[in-house]
């Protein structure tokens, strides 16, 4: 079985590696790039603890092969740290108890971030729908929804500079 | 411990984030059958390499008869689906799983016995024993039905539920030739250490267990597992660090799930609604081997809850089946007990046409009460009246069909907890025997200690569990860790203050921080601490049987809330677990013993769209402890299921006897009623 | 107890011709589109393959094209794109509803229309909708292209009319002539997100709101989508009202022969199928009355 070369722009930095084709994007990010914010919570494509942005859209990195991300942009939580919107979300996650154990948190933050990028003023139903691919076993989701609510509306485009690759579709 | 800021920045250190050069990954070959003779096992590391048994054999085992002790690796017989049989290693997860191909197992499958009631009288589910009953006791006092005008019977059941923390089990182990170090997410570093030492016959000084950031536990991570013994053994044998991370499928089939109880209950009452007695059978599905004998008697003990019921008598049995051993799941016996009581009291209310609150108030304890099983409660009537007034039950009952529940929470305060405070270079480090994994113990530790010491809370840091940093410790479970932890913390703080006084003549914060102090105490605690709680739910089931929860309320006496926000957050999260138990959570097998829950979503964990919010009201009647706190963590998993089941029952016009209740069961029951 | 895929070779193709060639050469090979059905299966190691042929790089397949006579959806078009497509939500509400109910937003961002159809999981939701829409399945094989209807495409649980070396490249949905309306409803398994039962219906109405023709399809109950001709013929020429829906309910309940399985009894399957059919018909009709389609 032949290895293949992949070239992934990970958090704005080029990562070129020879990988086994079966390598999951999750493991590429964690093992090769040593970025451990992205977690494996289930291997059954349900929990979303492994959520990353692929070309600006949130996906489950445990259900994407690294080769599928070849020549594409991947952002993990580490790579979104300086985004003002993400900073606000993190503050509110802490403030509103949007986490307890914290294992789902990076995925939750990315799905919430992604929602607010798409729609700056979502209602509760839309918030709940947007994070429905991310399972939290601790909070009952309430604190997470409240955190997103308190950031919504702040995301008017002009207030938040953003990296161009994040909005590329 | 990673701070909450570290966690939101993705800088937590969970067990899978720990890596060492040369580390190998472990994968397990597991039984494909729920019950089978193993004709041969070839390849990988097997019981021949690691002939160990799990430490806990349960109460049914004797010194001579060790058949009830679970083997770490099965060699002759597989007693449940997913039982570990052999281990292989690889340089990463992929390669370890590839190497499973090198393991050959030949089975002679037998018909599995999966139903605990069938198992009561069936042939033994494992070899070497005469009966499947591993715990058999009568709880309470026999009584005669005598004057009771009404006797109602029902069969009630909670099916098994996976604990399903988002982070599964996992372990990293390394051996330096003299000492084994283990990193693992856990509710108790000390119980993992003790379990490893006992299984492998190692001295406690030769094993160090360090808690990693722990991605949820809910009972799962209280103790030691066969896989951990294998990892420890492999680290010592191979002399390289090893890692094992449980897959979700392994979790669903082979970690210890909770609930799994059948109750055949009889309630004896007067037409007035006064309950004269409750009796019946409690049968716990303990799974294979003897480790899970603990819960049947514990459930029976607390069935009467907040009510002054003069007679109670239960036959409590834990029965082995061909499933993985049962374990504690958030609530651990308390929700099961309350389910029995609340379902029967609602049945009685319906029988005599009484309002469910009136009948509860009628039977509430008007004064201190000692139940026939020995459970001592304070007067509960006043609490109930306040609770349902605050939750506006009467008003809601006029416009909808709310279900209500009351219960008495018994936190596991017994045996207390340990604490160590170390003051060094102007900083204060704290270790607790029962550490945190999302409960934000860091907040109350900083709050209580900064108050006590008169120092800035930012110099106080709660550390993760570590058996080398803290001599002994119990653990975080049973709604206990803040109560007994804070108690130990304040005691040790007093010791530190006394030490400073002795050194410096008088205590000042400056004197404290200019010195080095290191104090430890195991604050023993006997006796019980019981608090009252109540819930309310409104729900309806549509024509397809799908339930919509429109209102959930909780009114809990939490004692003094150490950090009120955190208390509320705990209750909200637990409430959704309670809803999940009622609506969807289960891990079912087909008749051949194959697991039908193959994914996290199959096992019924609720997502954000399916999860209702809950209104939380706290009553703060201080406890006897200096900090005034009572238990919190398990309350919503006790009171929400019972209130919600009642709400569904009332709206659908059917009787609900089991959790979970599926849309199909609602539809079928409704069509029978019509 | 796998959580990682077994080993395989990988080929990223830039044309359908290359894909077909690669599939022809290696017997135990599979097409990778979005991977949302395939990758979970590979991770269990229940399925092992020798070659994975990735069609994700063929840009032309990630397409949505509206023509006079039909809408053509490329096989790599994302379920999430379908969900957000305004044309779809406006003109084919059933398709929008089905897309929006598949798994979760993260899966929909990767999962493709072609994948959902080709995987042919009875619990999938696009198969009954495409059947109700009388879609054509455009299939490319060794040097030729063929077009099949749903009855030839779906052959059983996880089984389609695709030969091993053929690739589904697009589905074509005939454009709704005149007064057409549709709806999709499902009942998920009591735990889990796959459908236990689903119904897609497409109604063509005359100016007086009588049913000219209809296609009502039951999903998930049977191994493949089931076109309920008895329902459609009963609807013909009629207005949909409570009385008619009652009759339809009976037709479904008595007209399907199902077996109990682990997930549901035969009784509940009949019940839920008849319930969903009447609800979906009522919803579609209501849409037409409100002039929404």
- Does B395 fall in a domain? yes
What residues in B contact C191, CB-CB < 8 Å?
584-586, 597, 601-604, 660
**C-alpha span between B543 and C282 (Å, rounded):** 15
3-class secondary structure, B109: strand
Tally of structural domains, chain B = 3
Residue C191 has pLDDT above 70, yes or no: no
Residue C292 has pLDDT above 60, yes or no: no
- The answer to whether B434 and B221 have CB atoms below 8 angstroms apart is no
B51 and B180 share one domain: yes
**C-alpha span between B134 and B264 (Å, rounded):** 19
Q: Which backbone phi and psi does C253 adopt, to 5 degrees?
A: -60, -40
3-class secondary structure, A31: helix
Average pLDDT over residues B594-620: 94
**For residue range A148-166, what is the model confidence (pLDDT) as tens digits?**
999 988 865 444 444 444 4
* CATH 3.40.720.10 given to domain C9-54: no
Residue A135 has pLDDT above 80, yes or no: yes
B83 and B189 share one domain: yes
Inspect the interface and report whether the beta carbons of B600 and A27 lie closer than 8 Å.
no
**For residue range A20-45, what is the model confidence (pLDDT) as tens digits?**
999 999 999 999 999 999 999 998 89
B80 and B93 share one domain: yes
Q: Chain B: residue nearest A101 by CA?
A: B438
Shortest distance, CA C106 to any CA of chain A (angstroms):
5
Which range marks the domain in which residue B223 is found?
4-110+169-245
Inspect the interface and report whether the beta carbons of C6 and B98 lie closer than 8 Å.
yes
B175 and B28 share one domain: yes
**C-alpha span between B59 and B290 (Å, rounded):** 7
Domain final residue, candidates B458, B492, B523? B523
Average pLDDT over residues B286-293: 92
C268 inside 8 A of chain B by CB: yes
| Nearest to B665, CA basis, from B649, B650, B644 | B649
The pLDDT, as a whole number, for residue B62 is 60
Shortest distance, CA B652 to any CA of chain C (angstroms):
16
| Fold type of domain C59-174 | 3.30.465
| Candidates C12, C40, C109; nearest CB to A57 | C109
- The answer to whether B380 and B324 have CB atoms below 8 angstroms apart is no
- Does B490 fall in a domain? yes
B495 and B382 share one domain: no
Residue C248 has pLDDT above 90, yes or no: yes
- Does B160 fall in a domain? no
B317 and B191 share one domain: no
- Does B213 fall in a domain? yes
The pLDDT, as a whole number, for residue B67 is 86
The pLDDT, as a whole number, for residue B145 is 77
Give the number of other CB atoms < 10 A from CB of residue B202.
16
Residue B593 has pLDDT above 90, yes or no: no
Give the number of other CB atoms < 10 A from CB of residue B62.
9
Instruction: Name the pLDDT band for C177 (thresholds 50, 70, 90).
Output: low
Inspect the interface and report whether the beta carbons of C109 and A59 lie closer than 8 Å.
yes
Angle in degrees, CA B455, B461, B464, rounded to 5: 155
What residues in C contact A51, CB-CB < 8 Å?
106
Interface test with A, best of C29, C40, C76, C106 (most A CBs within 10 A): C106
B559 inside 8 A of chain A by CB: no
Inspect the interface and report whether the beta carbons of C3 and B585 lie closer than 8 Å.
no
Which ranges in B317-372 belong to alpha helices (H)? Answer: 334-352, 356-363
Chain A and chain C share a number of CB contacts under 8 A equal to 83
Q: DSSP state, B120?
A: H
Q: What CATH number is attached to the domain comprising B95?
A: 3.90.1170.50
CA B266 vs CA B120, B269, B347, B659, C33: distances in Å: 20, 10, 10, 19, 59
**C-alpha span between C12 and C262 (Å, rounded):** 40
- The answer to whether A70 and C11 have CB atoms below 8 angstroms apart is no
Which ranges in B319-463 belong to alpha helices (H)? Answer: 334-352, 356-363, 381-390, 393-399, 441-453
Q: Chain B: residue nearest A24 by CA?
A: B94
**For residue range B347-390, what is the model confidence (pLDDT) as tens digits?**
999 999 999 999 999 999 999 999 999 999 999 999 999 999 99
C262 inside 8 A of chain B by CB: yes
| Candidates C35, C56, C105; nearest CB to A63 | C35
Interface test with B, best of A101, A127, A136 (most B CBs within 10 A): A101
Chain B and chain C share a number of CB contacts under 8 A equal to 69
Inspect the interface and report whether the beta carbons of A44 and C40 lie closer than 8 Å.
yes
Shortest distance, CA A27 to any CA of chain B (angstroms):
10
- The answer to whether C195 and C220 have CB atoms below 8 angstroms apart is yes
- The answer to whether A152 and A124 have CB atoms below 8 angstroms apart is no
Looking at per-residue confidence, does B145 or B248 come out higher? B248
- Does B327 fall in a domain? yes
- Does B250 fall in a domain? no
Average pLDDT over residues C148-157: 97
What residues in C contact A117, CB-CB < 8 Å?
none
Pairing of strands C51-54, C29-32: parallel
**For residue range C77-95, what is the model confidence (pLDDT) as tens digits?**
999 999 999 999 999 999 9
A101 inside 8 A of chain B by CB: yes
- Does B583 fall in a domain? yes
Inspect the interface and report whether the beta carbons of B668 and C7 lie closer than 8 Å.
no
The pLDDT, as a whole number, for residue B671 is 84
CATH architecture assigned to C179-290 = 2-Layer Sandwich (3.30)
Domain final residue, candidates B474, B502, B523? B523
Inspect the interface and report whether the beta carbons of B27 and C275 lie closer than 8 Å.
no
Q: DSSP state, A29?
A: I
B424 and B400 share one domain: no
B519 and B533 share one domain: no
B243 inside 8 A of chain A by CB: no
Inspect the interface and report whether the beta carbons of B213 and A23 lie closer than 8 Å.
no
What residues in A contact B217, CB-CB < 8 Å?
101
- The answer to whether A153 and A109 have CB atoms below 8 angstroms apart is no
The pLDDT, as a whole number, for residue A153 is 80
**C-alpha span between B407 and B416 (Å, rounded):** 23
Question: Which region holds residue B81: left if phi is over 0, alpha if psi is between -120 and 50, else beta?
Answer: beta
B492 and B603 share one domain: no
Q: What is the 3-state secondary structure of C213-246?
A: EEEEEEECCCCCCEECHHHHHHHCCCCCCHHHHH
Total residues found in chain B within this entry? 674
Whether a cis peptide bond, with omega within 30° of 0, leads into B660 is yes
Average pLDDT over residues C241-264: 95
Of chain B, the percentage scoring pLDDT greater than 90 comes to 93
Residue C115 has pLDDT above 80, yes or no: yes
What residues in A contact B248, CB-CB < 8 Å?
41-44, 46-47
The pLDDT, as a whole number, for residue B674 is 61
Q: Which backbone phi and psi does B532 adopt, to 5 degrees?
A: -105, 150
Inspect the interface and report whether the beta carbons of A97 and B565 lie closer than 8 Å.
yes
Q: Which backbone phi and psi does B511 adopt, to 5 degrees?
A: -60, -40
Indicate the range of B394-408, B503-517, C135-149, C182-196 predicted with least confidence. C182-196
Q: Chain B: residue nearest C264 by CA?
A: B664
Alpha-carbon torsion (B247, B249, B252, B253), positive or negative: negative
Residue B591 has pLDDT above 50, yes or no: yes
Chain A and chain B share a number of CB contacts under 8 A equal to 169
The pLDDT, as a whole number, for residue A161 is 42
Inspect the interface and report whether the beta carbons of A48 and C35 lie closer than 8 Å.
no
Q: Chain C: residue nearest A50 by CA?
A: C106
Domain final residue, candidates B523, B558, B575? B523
What residues in B contact A45, CB-CB < 8 Å?
599
Of chain A, the percentage scoring pLDDT greater than 90 comes to 86
| Candidates C5, C103, C110; nearest CB to A22 | C5
Tokens (6 digits) for B376:
């001592």
- DSSP lists the bridge partners of residue C139 as C146, C168
A63 inside 8 A of chain B by CB: no
DSSP strands (E only) in B574-636 = 615-619
pTM summary value: 0.96
| Nearest to B639, CA basis, from B568, B555, B529, B549 | B555
**For residue range B253-280, what is the model confidence (pLDDT) as tens digits?**
999 999 999 999 999 999 999 999 999 9
Average pLDDT of chain C to the nearest whole number: 94
The pLDDT, as a whole number, for residue B605 is 96
Q: Chain B: residue nearest C274 by CA?
A: B544
What residues in B contact A35, CB-CB < 8 Å?
10
Average pLDDT over residues B561-565: 96
Interface test with C, best of A5, A19, A22 (most C CBs within 10 A): A22
| Candidates C4, C262, C264; nearest CB to B596 | C262
**For residue range B103-132, what is the model confidence (pLDDT) as tens digits?**
999 999 999 999 999 999 999 999 999 999
- The answer to whether B67 and B291 have CB atoms below 8 angstroms apart is no
CA B379 vs CA B75, B369, B408: distances in Å: 55, 7, 11
**For residue range B48-84, what is the model confidence (pLDDT) as tens digits?**
999 999 987 666 666 556 789 999 999 999 999 999 9
A6 inside 8 A of chain C by CB: no
B238 and B313 share one domain: no
**C-alpha span between B507 and C43 (Å, rounded):** 62
B543 and B606 share one domain: yes
What residues in B contact A65, CB-CB < 8 Å?
none
| Nearest to C167, CA basis, from C6, C4, C18 | C18
Give the number of other CB atoms < 10 A from CB of residue C242.
8
Q: To which residue do tokens 């409590």 refer?
A: B316
Average pLDDT over residues B152-181: 98
B398 and B306 share one domain: yes
- Does B252 fall in a domain? no
CA C217 vs CA C134, C242, C268: distances in Å: 10, 20, 18
Question: Which residues of C make CB contacts under 8 Å with A?
Answer: 2-10, 12, 32, 35-36, 39-40, 42-43, 52, 54, 56, 80, 103-107, 109-110
Shortest distance, CA B644 to any CA of chain C (angstroms):
17
Give the chains touching C; criterion: ≥3 Cβ pairs < 8 Å.
Answer: A, B
Q: DSSP state, B100?
A: G
What residues in C contact B247, CB-CB < 8 Å?
1-3
Q: What CATH number is attached to the domain comprising B390?
A: 3.30.365.10
DSSP B162-193: ----SS--EEEEEE-SS-EEEEE--S-HHHHH
Of chain B, the percentage scoring pLDDT greater than 70 comes to 98
């Amino acid at each position: 079985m032949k290895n293949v070369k992949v070239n992934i722009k990970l958090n704005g930095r080029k990562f070129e590696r020879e990988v086994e084709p079966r390598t999951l994007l999750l493991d590429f990010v964690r093992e090769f790039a040593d970025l451990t914010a992205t977690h494996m919570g289930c291997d059954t494509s349900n929990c979303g603890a492994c959520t990353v942005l692929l070309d600006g859209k949130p996906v489950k990195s445990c259900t994407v092969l690294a080769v599928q991300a070849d020549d594409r942009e991947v952002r993990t939580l580490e790579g979104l740290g300086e985004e003002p919107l993400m900073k606000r979300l993190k503050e509110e996650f802490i403030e509103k108890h949007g986490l307890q154990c914290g294992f789902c948190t990076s995925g939750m933050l990315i799905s919430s971030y992604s929602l607010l990028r798409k729609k700056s003023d979502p209602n509760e139903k839309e918030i709940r729908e947007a994070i429905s691919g991310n399972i939290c076993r601790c909070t009952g989701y309430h604190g997470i929804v409240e955190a997103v609510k308190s950031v919504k509306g702040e995301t008017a485009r002009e207030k938040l500079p953003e990296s161009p690759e994040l909005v590329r579709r | 411990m990673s701070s909450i800021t570290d966690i939101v920045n993705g800088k937590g250190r969970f067990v899978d984030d720990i890596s060492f050069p040369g580390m190998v990954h472990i994968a397990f070959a597991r039984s494909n059958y729920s019950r089978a003779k193993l004709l041969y096992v070839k390849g990988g590391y097997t019981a021949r390499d690691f002939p160990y048994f799990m430490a806990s054999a349960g109460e049914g085992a004797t010194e001579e008869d060790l058949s009830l002790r679970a083997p770490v690796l099965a060699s002759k017989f597989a007693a449940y689906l997913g039982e570990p049989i052999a281990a292989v290693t690889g340089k990463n997860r992929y390669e370890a799983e590839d190497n499973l191909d090198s393991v050959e197992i030949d089975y002679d499958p037998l018909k599995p016995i999966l139903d605990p009631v069938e198992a009561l009288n069936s042939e033994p589910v494992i070899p070497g024993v005469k009966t499947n009953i591993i715990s058999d006791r009568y709880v309470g006092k026999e009584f005669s039905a005598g004057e009771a005008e009404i006797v109602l019977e029902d069969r009630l059941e909670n099916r098994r539920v996976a604990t399903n923390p988002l982070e599964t089990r996992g372990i990293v182990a390394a051996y330096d030739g003299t000492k084994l170090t283990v990193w693992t997410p856990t509710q108790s570093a000390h119980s993992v250490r003790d379990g490893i030492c006992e299984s492998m016959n190692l001295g406690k000084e030769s094993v160090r267990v360090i808690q990693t950031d722990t991605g949820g536990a809910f009972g799962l991570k209280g103790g030691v597992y066969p896989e951990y013994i294998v990892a420890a053994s492999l680290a010592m044998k191979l002399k390289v660090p090893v890692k094992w991370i449980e897959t979700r499928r392994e979790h669903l089939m082979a970690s210890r799930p909770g609930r799994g109880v059948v109750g055949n209950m009889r309630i004896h009452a007067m037409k007035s609604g006064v309950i004269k007695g409750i009796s019946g059978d409690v049968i716990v599905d303990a799974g294979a081997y003897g480790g899970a004998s603990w819960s049947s008697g514990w459930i029976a003990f607390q069935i009467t809850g907040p009510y002054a019921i003069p007679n109670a008598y239960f036959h409590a049995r834990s029965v082995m089946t061909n499933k993985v051993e049962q374990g504690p799941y958030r609530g651990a016996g308390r929700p099961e007990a309350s389910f029995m009581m609340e379902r029967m009291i609602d049945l009685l209310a319906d029988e005599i046409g009484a309002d469910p609150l009136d009948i509860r108030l009628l039977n509430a304890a008007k004064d201190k009460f000692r139940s026939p099983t020995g459970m001592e409660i304070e007067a509960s009537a006043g609490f109930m009246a306040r609770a349902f007034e605050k939750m506006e039950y009467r008003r809601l009952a006029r416009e909808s069909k709310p279900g209500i529940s009351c219960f008495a929470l018994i936190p596991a305060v017994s045996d207390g907890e340990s604490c160590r405070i170390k003051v060094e270079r102007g900083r204060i480090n704290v270790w607790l025997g029962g550490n945190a994994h999302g409960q934000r113990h860091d907040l109350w530790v900083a709050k209580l200690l900064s108050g006590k010491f008169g120092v800035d809370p930012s110099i106080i840091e709660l550390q993760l569990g570590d058996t080398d940093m803290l001599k002994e410790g119990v653990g975080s479970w049973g709604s206990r860790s803040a109560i007994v932890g804070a108690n130990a913390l304040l005691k040790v703080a007093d010791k530190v203050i006394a030490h400073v006084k002795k050194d410096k003549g008088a205590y000042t914060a400056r004197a404290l921080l200019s010195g080095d102090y290191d104090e430890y105490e195991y604050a023993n605690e006997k006796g019980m601490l019981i608090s009252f709680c109540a819930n309310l739910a409104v729900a309806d089931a549509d024509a397809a049987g799908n339930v919509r929860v429109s209102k959930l309320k909780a009114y809990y006496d939490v004692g003094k809330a150490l950090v009120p926000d955190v208390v509320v957050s705990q209750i909200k999260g637990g409430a959704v677990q309670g809803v999940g138990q009622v609506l969807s959570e289960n891990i079912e097998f087909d008749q051949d013993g194959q697991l039908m829950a193959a994914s996290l979503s199959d096992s019924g964990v609720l997502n954000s769209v399916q999860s209702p919010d809950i209104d939380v009201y706290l009553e703060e009647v201080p406890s006897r402890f200096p900090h005034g706190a009572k238990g919190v963590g398990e309350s919503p998993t006790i009171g929400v299921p019972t209130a919600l089941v009642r709400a569904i029952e009332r709206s659908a016009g059917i009787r609900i006897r089991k959790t979970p209740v599926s849309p199909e069961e609602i539809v079928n029951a409704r069509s029978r009623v019509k | 107890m796998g959580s990682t895929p077994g080993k395989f070779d990988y080929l990223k193709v830039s044309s359908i011709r290359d894909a077909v060639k690669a599939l022809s050469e290696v017997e135990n090979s599979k097409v990778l589109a979005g991977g949302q059905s395939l990758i979970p299966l590979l991770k269990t190691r229940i399925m092992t393959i020798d070659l994975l042929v990735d069609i994700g790089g063929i840009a032309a397949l990630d397409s949505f094209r509206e023509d006079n006579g039909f809408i053509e959806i490329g096989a790599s078009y994302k379920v999430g794109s379908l969900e957000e497509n305004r044309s779809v939500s406006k003109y084919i509400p059933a398709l929008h509803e089905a897309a929006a109910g598949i798994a979760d937003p993260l899966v929909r961002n990767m999962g493709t229309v072609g994948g959902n159809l080709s995987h042919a999981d009875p619990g999938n939701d696009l198969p009954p909708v495409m059947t109700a829409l009388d879609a054509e399945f455009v299939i490319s094989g060794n040097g030729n292209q063929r077009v099949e209807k749903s009855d030839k495409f779906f052959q059983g649980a996880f089984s389609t009319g695709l030969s091993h070396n053929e690739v589904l490249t697009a589905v074509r949905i005939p454009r709704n002539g005149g007064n057409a309306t549709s709806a999709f409803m499902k009942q998920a398994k009591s735990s889990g997100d796959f459908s236990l039962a689903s119904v897609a219906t497409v109604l063509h109405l005359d100016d007086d709101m009588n049913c000219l023709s209809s296609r009502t399809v039951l999903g998930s109950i049977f191994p493949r989508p089931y076109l309920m001709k008895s329902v459609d013929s009963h609807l013909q020429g009629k207005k949909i009202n409570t009385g008619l829906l009652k009759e339809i309910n009976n037709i479904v309940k008595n007209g399907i022969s199902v077996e109990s399985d682990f997930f549901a009894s035969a009784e509940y399957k009949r019940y839920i199928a008849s319930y969903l059919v009447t609800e979906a018909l009522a919803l579609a009709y209501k849409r037409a009355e409100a002039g929404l389609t």
